[in-house]
Amino acid sequence: MLEMKNIAKIYRTEAIATHALRDFDLSVADGEFVTVTGPSGSGKTTFLNIAGLLEDPTDGTYKLDGEEVGQLNDRAKSRIRNEKIGFIFQSFNLIPDLDVTDNIDVPLRYRGLPGAERSKRIRDALEIVGLASRQHHLPSQLSGGQQQRVAIARALAGRPRFLLADEPTGNLDSEMASQVIALLDDINAQGTTIIMVTHDMSLAGHGGREVRLLDGRLASPDDAETLAATGTGV
Amino acid sequence: MPDLEIRPILGTMRRNPVGAILIALQVAFTLGVVANSLFIINDRIGLINRPTGFDIDNIVTVQSTLLDDPADKLQQVRTDIEALEAIPGVIAATSVTQLPLSNSGSGTELFASADPNAPEVNGARFTMTETGLDAMGLTLAEGRWFREDEIKLPSTYGDPINVVIVTRVMADALFPDGNALGATVYDHLRRPVTLIGIVEHMQGSWISWQHLDNNIFTPQVPMQRFARYVIRTEPGSLDQVMSQVEPTLAATEPRRIVQRLRPYSEIRDRTYTEHRAMAIMLGVVSVLLIIVTAVGIVGLVSFVVRQRTRQIGTRRAIGAQRLHIVRYFLVENWLMTTGGAIVGMALAFGVNYWLANLFSLPRLDPWYLPAGLVILWLVGLLSVFAPARRAARISPAIATRGAAL
């Protein structure tokens, strides 16, 4: 269960204060697939960063599985990111000098799992994403879709309770994007909670529930005109 | 046991070898030079700090040349010594013909038997008076020192002598089975001399001579107008005594030139100037090389941190703690340093072989290699620590921003 209440995020410089999120409330139940949409600058990525403990909220409370996590220290947040959260990034964020196996192994090493357990998890994850035959390939030897599947395998190998996807199809052609979305559907069907931030309106509400952001807050029906004008209509 | 990520780090270095190779080569070169430098420095310091066997820090030396031939040179020397010993703070004074550690002087040889085939034992020859033992601060191991009636004014230093004293090393060289005290030894003309005393230890004149500790004492005073005196003072009285030496000698005989009044430590320092200069130069070169290596490591790691900013952010996003990031760079650098050090050890042997042939140095003690390795490990770890900490402070939120890794 993910629960945010009155979350605010303000980026301050000497000259200005930018309200990236304000009065933001959201609850995501276990096993949900939630898509978060909104125009550029609406606060999608800020929301994802806070949800993934990559950034601290300026205000509000954030509970993950009932535990207040917003103000934990860096070490505790790193541990939660490693054990409970899986990340899928728009640019895949694979480490270019490591082959597929070693890329998937990175978070498992941080968890301190023994070698045999890590190997099994890597094999299982590669089976799920259909890349078992590419385990010794470097990212540069894979297509964009394959790279994103490796990134998904990296996230899955940690067996996370929450999978946070940041525009996971943003850098893929439509065929590869479909494959990735189908894969996310399968993962969600296995019980993993997925929150997917996307700009792509064809994916809005894909998992059954859509959250729309506008100007750093949840969009209301009054915002329909604005959202329509930005191409992210109601 | 924490996971040090050694295999993936090695894989990364294999795919991006240039930086690692440059640092490894720099470390190899530095280790080769530093290990040899430490060895040579230690060798030189060891030479300089060898025990002299005499009270070097409390001795003043002075040289006197009479303007006229003295009526009785032996008496003149005795008068001078008595006057010098009367200076407050002086323990004893003696005349000598040459100074230990001065790199100049003369030597002679003694034989354990009159047999023409008996092996000769060489040593530096020091003529002293009955006050020589106290004036030098020597330790008499066996027998006795010269009596006043045994002191002669020779017409040449080849004049026959009745008694002789040698250092322990010289006695053992003459009589390996012991029993040197009281034995008859033979001078360079195979004339018999009685060995009446053994001095525990005294370094001789030529610091690079292999028989530096072989020394012979004979009961004579310097010939003709020249005399050199050694004056031993109470601890802390050196400066005060030095100020009195010249007026004291002038009072006993004004028609003389007094020269080279100096503390004995100055003679030793002058003799070892080259050794000290070599040690300092090698020390400076080593420190500079280590600084250059450290700067190279800081530069490379800083560059890599900038290059891998997003990668580091991604590692943080997927669970790396700050400790993991710091440790990654420390291990990566440790592997580079160790790789370079292994090459450097071979290089060190090569450099030593070359230096040993060029300067007739002893072979490198193998312990200097691990010592150099430890120094470079420490330099590497200290150098990498600041940029690694900067890397660890990279926000994990970098991972969700645009641009490729």
pLDDT in tens, B327-336: 999 999 999 9
Residue A234: the pLDDT is 39
* C-beta of residue B181 within 8 angstroms of C-beta of residue B198: yes
Q: Which whole number is the average pLDDT over B363-372?
A: 87
* Separation CA B370–CA B340 (nearest Å): 13
Nearest CA in chain A to B314: A93
Q: Where are the alpha helices (DSSP H) in B153-272?
A: 168-174, 238-252, 264-271
B303 falls in which pLDDT band (50, 70, 90)? very high
List the single residue in B11, B310, B404 with the smallest CB-CB distance to A98.
Answer: B11
Mean pLDDT computed over B236-250 = 93
pLDDT in tens, A177-222: 898 899 999 999 999 999 999 988 888 878 789 999 999 999 876 6
- Residue B181 domain boundaries: 68-254
Q: Do A87 and B2 touch (CB under 8 A)?
A: no
Please determine, for residue B242, whether its predicted confidence score (pLDDT) is greater than 70.
yes
* Mean pLDDT of the region B313-321: 97
Distance of CA B149 to the CA centre of its chain: 40
Residue B73: predicted pLDDT: 86
Do A9 and A50 contact (CB within 8 A), yes or no?
A: yes
Residue B389 pLDDT grade (very low, low, confident, very high; cuts 50, 70, 90):
very high
Count of Cβ atoms closer than 10 Å to residue B110 Cβ: 24
Q: Quick check: A55 and B2 CB within 8 A? A: no
B77 shares its domain with B116: yes
Q: Given the structure tokens 């420095």, which residue do they identify?
A: B41
Is residue B45 domain-shared with residue B78, that is, in the same domain?
no
Q: Could you give the CA distance from residue B36 to residue B363 in angstroms, rounded to a whole number?
A: 10
Q: Are the beta carbons of A97 and B11 separated by less than 8 Å?
A: yes
- Percent of residues in chain A assigned helix, strand, coil, to nearest 5: 40, 25, 35
B31 and B72 share one domain: no
Of B310, B400, B404, the CB nearest to A54: B400
Cβ–Cβ gap B320/A102 under 8 Å: no
Cβ contacts of B20 on chain A, cutoff 8 Å? none
Amino acid in the structure at residue B255: R
Same domain, B205 and B93: yes
pLDDT higher than threshold 70 for residue B228: yes
In this prediction, residue A228 carries a pLDDT of: 62
Residues B37 and B111 grouped into a single domain: no
In this structure, is residue B59 part of a structural domain?
Answer: no
Cβ–Cβ < 8 Å for B110, B192: no
pLDDT in tens, A43-78: 999 999 999 999 999 999 999 999 999 879 999 999
Inside any domain, residue B144: yes
β-bridge partners, A4? A26, A62
Minimal Cβ distance to B3: which of A87, A112, A155: A112
- Contact between B249 and B258 (Cβ < 8 Å): yes
The residue type of B272 is: Y
Report chain B's mean pLDDT, rounded to a whole number: 92
Specify if B372 maps to a domain: yes
Tell me whether residue B405 is in a domain. Answer: no
Q: Which residues of chain B have a CB within 8 Å of the CB of A107?
A: 318-319
Chain A CB within 8 Å of residue B389 CB: no
Query: Does B60 map to a domain?
Result: no
**Domain end marker among B254, B286, B315:** B254
Same domain flag for B221 and B357: no
In a domain, residue B268? The reply is no
Q: Show which of B208, B227, B254 is a domain's final residue.
A: B254
In a domain, B56, yes or no: no
B103 & B237 share domain: yes
pLDDT of residue A56: 94
pLDDT for residue B130: 94
Summary mean pLDDT of chain A: 91
Residues B83 and B36 in one domain: no
Q: Is residue B266 part of a domain?
A: no
Residues B134, B13 share a domain: no
User: Which residues in chain A are closer than 8 Å to B16, comparing Cβ atoms?
Assistant: 97
Domains of chain A: 2-229 (3.40.50.300)
pLDDT(B29) > 70: yes
Among A23-27, B84-88, B102-106, B324-328, the minimum mean pLDDT is found in B102-106
The CA distance from A115 to the nearest CA of chain B, in Å, is 10
Sheet holding A17-28, edge to edge: A17-28, A2-12, A59-64, A67-68
Whole-number Å distance between alpha carbons of B374 and B378: 6
pLDDT at residue B190 is higher than 60: yes
pLDDT at B345 over 70: yes
Q: Which of B226, B254, B282 is the last residue of a domain?
A: B254
The answer to whether the beta carbons of residues B184 and B192 sit under 8 Å apart is yes
For residue B356, what pLDDT band results from cuts at 50, 70 and 90?
confident
B15 reaches A (C-beta below 8 A): yes
Name the nearest CA neighbour of A214 among A232, A196, A200: A232
- B-chain residues within 8 Å CB-CB of A50? none
pLDDT at A5 over 50: yes
**Together in a domain, B205 and B305:** no
Residues B248, B60: contact at Cβ < 8 Å? no
Instruction: Judge if B105 and B134 occupy the same domain.
Output: yes
Question: Would you place residue A230 in the very low, low, confident or very high pLDDT band (cuts 50, 70, 90)?
Answer: low
Per DSSP, the residues of B368-385 read HHHHHHHHHHHHHHHHHH
| pLDDT of amino acid A233 | 45
Which whole number is the average pLDDT over B181-210?
93
Residue B114 has pLDDT above 90, yes or no: no
**Is pLDDT above 60 for A137?**
yes
- B102 and B19, same domain (yes or no): no
Chain A residue closest in CA terms to B13: A97
Distances (CA, A) of A231 to A222, A234, B80: 16, 9, 115
Question: Which candidate in B12, B318, B321 is best for mutational testing of the A interface (most A CBs within 10 A)?
Answer: B318
Total domains present in chain B: 2
Q: Is A171 exposed, middle or buried (0-12, 13-18, 19+ CB in 10 A)?
A: middle
CA distance B395 to chain A (A): 7
Q: How many CB pairs under 8 A join A and B?
A: 95
* Closest CA relative to residue A18, chosen from A52, A51, A46, A56: A46
| One-letter amino acid of A13 | T
Within 8 A of B315 by CB-CB distance, chain A residues are 95, 106, 110
Whether residues A95 and B311 touch (CB distance < 8 A) is answered with: yes
**Residue A206: per-residue pLDDT:** 81
